[in-house]
Structure 1
Amino acid sequence: MPGPEPVPGDRARGWIVTAFVTALAAITRFTMLNYPTDAKTPVFDEKHYAPQGWQVLTGGWIEDNPGYGLVVHPPVGKQMIAIGEALFGYTAWGWRFSAAAAGVVLVLLVVRIVRRLTRSTMLGAVAGLLLVVDGVTFVSSRLGMLDIFQAVFVVAAFGCLIVDRDDVRARMAKVHAQGRVLDSVWGPRFGVRWWRFGAGILLGLAVGTKWSGLYFIAFFGLMSVAFDLATRRAYRVQRPWVGTALRDIGPALYALVLVPLGVYLSTYWAWFASETGVYRHAVGSRIGHDGMFSFVPDALRSLWYYSASVLEFHSGLTNSAGNQHPWESKPWTWPMGLRPMLYYFADGERISGCDAEQCVKAVMLVGTPALWWVSLPVLGWGLWQLLVRRDWRWAAVLTGYGAGILPWFASLDRQMYYFYAVPMAPFLVMGVALVLGDILGSPHASTERRTTGLLVVCLYVGLVVANFVWLWPILTALPITPEHWNDQLWLPSWR
C-alpha cells in the first residue's frame, strides 16, 4: 500500500531559495518597465487595455465608453491593470505594474509547484530560473495585456489541485492506518476539500480574464477526478470506479464548475450595478421581456445577450472571412515558437543609441529557443513516462500543457496569435524541470551518476540563460544596429 508522500523537509531553505529566485524575477520584470512606449502612449494591444483599465478606475469599475465598441473580454484583466494605474496614474508604469507583479508571482508559483511535484528544492529553483529567462512570460510580464493574468490564475489553480491531491492521499493513508478503507465497497468520502475549492475560485478568475480559461476548467476537472480514482485504486477499494462516480464527481462539479461560474458572474459586479455598462439593459432595448426565459432576471438575460454578442464577434475573426494579420500564428507553431509576435518596432533617424548611423528598436514575443526548442523531445519523454511508467506528475503537467494548446486545434480558421500560448509556457517549464530531474538522477544513485547529471543540468540551464541574454535587446527594445537585428532573427518564420 502506498503511504503519504512527504514533502521536502528543508522548509526554511525552500523559502529562502524561493525568495531568491522570485527576487531575480522582480529585477528582470520591473527594470525599465516604462520602456518602450509609443511617444508615451501604449504599444500594440496595450492600446485597448490601458485605456479600458483607466476607465474602469475612473468610471465606476466598468467600461462604458462607446468609443471602444463592444468590449470583447471579461473585466478581471482590466481591473488588474486599473490597480497599477491607481498607483502610478495613466503612465507606462501604471498600465504595466500589475502585469509585472503577476509575472513575479508566476515565477514564485512555479518554484513551489515544481518543488512539490519533484520533492526537490533544487529542481524547484531550476524551474523558477528557467521561467525567469523565458522570453514569452518575460515580455508578457512587461506589457499591459491580459494573458499574464490568466496564466497566474491558471497556474495557481493547478498548484491548488496538486496540494489537494497530496491532501487526499494523506487522508486516505490515515483511513487505511485505522483499517477503515474497506468499510464501504466504494471507499471513504474525502470530506471538505478547501484546496480544490480555492482552485475553483482561481479558475473563475481565469475565465473572468479570458474565456479560454474554460478549457482549463474542463481539463483540470478531469484531472482532479482522475486523481481521486487513482487514489481509490491505489488503496484497493473494491469498486473504485463506482466510488469515484458516486462520491467524487459531484463535489468536483461543485468545486470546479459551479464555483467558477459563481466567481465569473461576480466579476461583473460593477456591470450589474451600473446603468451605462455595455448592453446592461439589453432586455427591453434589444430583446423583449417575454419569451421562454422570461423567468430569468433581466440583468442575467442582458449579460447573456452581451456574451452572445462577444461570442459572435470572436467567431467572426476567421481567415476565411478575410481577417488576416501579418503576425498571426497557428497552434502547431506554438510548441517551438516558430511564429513569434512583433509587438513594437522603430527605426529611422529618430532612433539612436547603438553607436551606428542607423538603429533599430523592437519588442518581440519569442520563446527562448534553448527552452522552447526542446519542447517536442520533452513532450515525447513525458508521454513515455506517463504511459509506460504511470508517472502521475507527467499526467498533471501534460494536462496543463494540453489545456493551453489542444482546444485551439478545433478552430484553425480563426485568427490566432502566439500570445495565446502564454498560459501553457509555465507547464513547458515544469516539463523541462521533470526531465532535468531524471537527468540528475535519484538521490540514491552513485556519486559519479549524480555528478554527471548535475553537470548536464548546469550546462543546460547556463545555455538557456545565455540564450536569454542574447535575446535581451529584442525583448526590451534596446537600440541595436540593423545587422544585429537580423542576427537575432534565427528563422525565416521570425521575419
Structure 2
Amino acid sequence: MNTRAFLSHPGRVAALIGVTAQALFSYRLTIPHAVMFDEVHYVPAARKLLTLAAPANTEHPLVGKEIIAAGIALFGDNPLGWRAFSTLAGTATVLGVFWMLWLMFGRTRTAALGAAFALLNFTIFIEARIAMLDGFMAMFVVLGTGTVLWSMRARSAAAAWPRWLAGSVLLGLAVGAKWTAVPFVAYAGAAFLTIRLVDARRAGRSVWWALNARGHRHWPGLAAVPALMTLGIVSATVYFATFAPALYYHDLPLSLDRLLWFQGNMYAQQTEVLPSHPYQSQWWSWPLMIRPIWYLYEYVDGATRGVLMIGNPAVLWGGLVAVGACIYVGWRERSLRLLAAAALWAGAYLPWIIIPKSLGFFYYYYLPSVFLPVAIAAALQRFCKGRFARWDEAALLAALGLFAFFYPILSAAPLAGPQSFHRWMWFPSWP
C-alpha cells in the first residue's frame, strides 16, 4: 500500500495520530516523581475516594477524581498511577478533534491537520501529563460534541437516537468532571434547534415541520421536544449518578436528600472571594497569553526542571486569526461549518466573562484552546487553495518548530540551571 492510499483512509490516519499522541504523552510521564501544581489537591482527594474515607476537594464534582483513583488502583499510588489516565484523555481529545473535523468537512486532510495542531498545542500536551480535572472534562466535551455531530449525520432514526443518547451521557460526564462543561449541554440543544430551523427556511417549510421528527436529513426521526428532554434528563441523571461513591464515605457520607444541598455548597466554594495570587490573570488576557503559569520549576529528580502551562504561539495566536476568518467568511457565505468552527471556541470562552470567579488563571483557557485547532483547520481548508495550497503545511511546520523549541519546559526535561528559564521568556509578563 502506498503512502497516498494510506493517508486517504481516515481510520488509518486516526490510528497513526492516536499512537503518536499516546507515545508523546507517555514518554517520561513519571517525572517529576512528586506531585506538582494542583496535583496537590486532586491526588489526595483521589486517594480518599479510593478508600471511601471522607469527602475531599468538595468544590468540584467527582468524575475526574474517580478516574485518577482508578489509575491509582490499577498502577499504584505513584506518578504512573496518578497520570496514566490523563494521557488517555489527552489522546482521546486529539482524536476527538480529528473526528469532529471529519464529520464537519468530510476531508481526511482537514481532520488530520486539526488533530496535528491539537497534538502540538502545548496546553493539551501539558494537561495530558498531569493529574488534574480539566483534561477529563475537555475529553468528555469533545467526544460528547462529536457524538452529537455523529447523530446529526445519521441516516435513520435507528442510528440517530442511540448516538444522541450517547452524546447526552458524555456531556453529563463532562459536567461531572468540572462545571465548566455545563454550557455545552445547552449548546447541543441550541445547535439542534438552529440547524433544524435553518433547514426549514432553506426548504421553505414551517417551524412546525422543523420541530417534527419526519423528513429531516439532520437528526432523522428526532422530534425537537423529545430530543431536548432526553438531552437534559439523561445528562442530569448521569451527572448526579457520578456522586454514588459519596453515599458510602466512612465519615460524612452524602445522602440522597442532601445531594442538591451539596451542589449549592460547591457553588458557594467556587464563588467565594479568594486572596490574590502571583499567577492570577484576567479573562481578557488569556487569548493573548499574557500570563502563563509554572506548574513546576524547581530542583527535582536530580536536575532543575520546569513545566510551563503555556500555549503554542502558532496555535493560540494563529487560532484567533482563524476564528476571525471563520466568522467573517462564514457569515458572508452563510457557511454553518465555518461558523460552527468559530462558535466552538467562542462557546467555551465566553462563559468565563460572566462566571462570578474572584480569581482567574491562564489554565482556565484550556477548553477554548482545545477548540482553536478546529478553527485553524477549518480556515486553512477554506483559504489554502491555488498559490496558497501549501500554506497549511507551512503553518504546521511552524507549530512543530515551536513545540520542539519549548519542549524542555513543557516536559520537565533537565535544564542547565536555575536561570535557564530565561531562554524561553519572550515577554516581561511571562514568569
TM-score normalised per structure 2: 0.90
Q: Please give the alpha-carbon distance, in whole angstroms, between the structure 2 residues aligned to 1:10 and 1:233.
A: 40
Aligned pair 1:373/2:317, yes or no?
A: yes
Counterparts in 2 of 1:69-80, with a 5 A limit? 71-80=58-67
Q: Is the 8 A contact 2:151 2:160 kept in 1?
A: no
Q: Please give the alpha-carbon distance, in whole angstroms, between the structure 1 residues aligned to 2:374 and 2:354.
A: 25
Aligned pair 1:461/2:405, yes or no?
A: no
Aligned to 1:425: 369
The change in CA–CA distance for 1:21 and 1:246 in structure 2 (over 3 A counts) is: closer
Amino acid at match of 1:150: M
Aligned pair 1:43/2:36, yes or no?
A: yes
Which of the numbers 256, 262, 277 marks the counterpart of 1:306?
Answer: 262
Q: Is the 8 A contact 1:86 1:94 kept in 2?
A: yes
1:194-237 CA deviation, whole Å, 9 max, x = no partner? 22221111110011111121111122221122122222233332
Shift of 1:120: 1.0
Q: Is the 8 A contact 2:341 2:378 kept in 1?
A: no
Aligned to 1:388: 332
Q: Is the 8 A contact 1:71 1:278 kept in 2?
A: no
Aligned to 1:145: 132
Deviates more, 1:467-476 or 1:400-409: 400-409
Q: Is the 8 A contact 2:86 2:128 kept in 1?
A: yes
Amino acid at match of 1:467: L
Counterparts in 2 of 1:114-193, with a 5 A limit? 114-167=101-154, 170=155, 193=161
Counterpart secondary structure, 1:361: strand
1:66-124 CA deviation, whole Å, 9 max, x = no partner? xx4x5111111011111211121000000000101111111112112212222211121
Deviates more, 1:336-345 or 1:146-155: 336-345
Shift of 1:246: 6.2
Counterparts in 2 of 1:474-489, with a 5 A limit? 474-481=409-416, 482=418, 484-489=420-425
Counterpart secondary structure, 1:388: helix
Q: Please give the alpha-carbon distance, in whole angstroms, between the structure 2 residues aligned to 1:454 and 1:351.
A: 46
Aligned to 1:490: 426
Q: Please give the alpha-carbon distance, in whole angstroms, between the structure 2 residues aligned to 1:392 and 1:92.
A: 44
Counterpart secondary structure, 1:208: helix
Q: Please give the alpha-carbon distance, in whole angstroms, between the structure 2 residues aligned to 1:487 and 1:277.
A: 50
Amino acid at match of 2:191: M
Q: How many residues align?
A: 417
Shift of 1:56: 2.1
Aligned to 1:206: 174
1:316-353 CA deviation, whole Å, 9 max, x = no partner? 1x3xxx52111122221222322212111114xx7865
Task: Name the % identity.
Answer: 26
Aligned to 1:256: 231
Aligned to 1:292: none
Q: Is the 8 A contact 1:223 1:396 kept in 2?
A: no
Aligned pair 1:411/2:355, yes or no?
A: yes
Counterparts in 2 of 1:249-288, with a 5 A limit? 249-272=224-247, 274=248, 276=250, 278=252, 280-281=254-255
Counterpart secondary structure, 2:297: strand
Q: Is the 8 A contact 2:31 2:301 kept in 1?
A: no
Aligned to 2:12: 16
1:381-422 CA deviation, whole Å, 9 max, x = no partner? 111123211111123223321221101101365212222222
Amino acid at match of 2:27: T
Counterpart secondary structure, 1:212: helix
TM-score normalised per structure 1: 0.79
Counterparts in 2 of 1:325-340, with a 5 A limit? 325-340=277-292
Structure 1: which 5+ runs fail to align? 1-8, 172-188, 282-298, 354-359, 442-448
Amino acid at match of 1:493: S
Q: Please give the alpha-carbon distance, in whole angstroms, between the structure 1 residues aligned to 2:399 and 2:159.
A: 44
Q: Please give the alpha-carbon distance, in whole angstroms, between the structure 1 residues aligned to 2:126 and 2:159.
A: 42
Q: Please give the alpha-carbon distance, in whole angstroms, between the structure 1 residues aligned to 2:208 and 2:285.
A: 41
Amino acid at match of 2:18: T
> Please, what is the CA RMSD of the aligned residues?
2.4
Q: Is the 8 A contact 1:109 1:159 kept in 2?
A: yes
Aligned to 2:54: 64
Aligned to 1:440: 384
Aligned to 2:217: none
Aligned to 2:92: 105
Shift of 1:11: 9.9
Q: Is the 8 A contact 1:219 1:400 kept in 2?
A: no
Shift of 1:432: 0.3
Aligned to 1:315: 271
Q: Please give the alpha-carbon distance, in whole angstroms, between the structure 1 residues aligned to 2:212 and 2:165.
A: 19
Amino acid at match of 1:15: G
Q: Is the 8 A contact 2:32 2:301 kept in 1?
A: no
Which of the numbers 201, 219, 223 marks the counterpart of 1:233?
Answer: 201
Q: Is the 8 A contact 1:53 1:78 kept in 2?
A: yes
Structure 2: which 5+ runs fail to align? 214-222
Shift of 1:271: 2.2
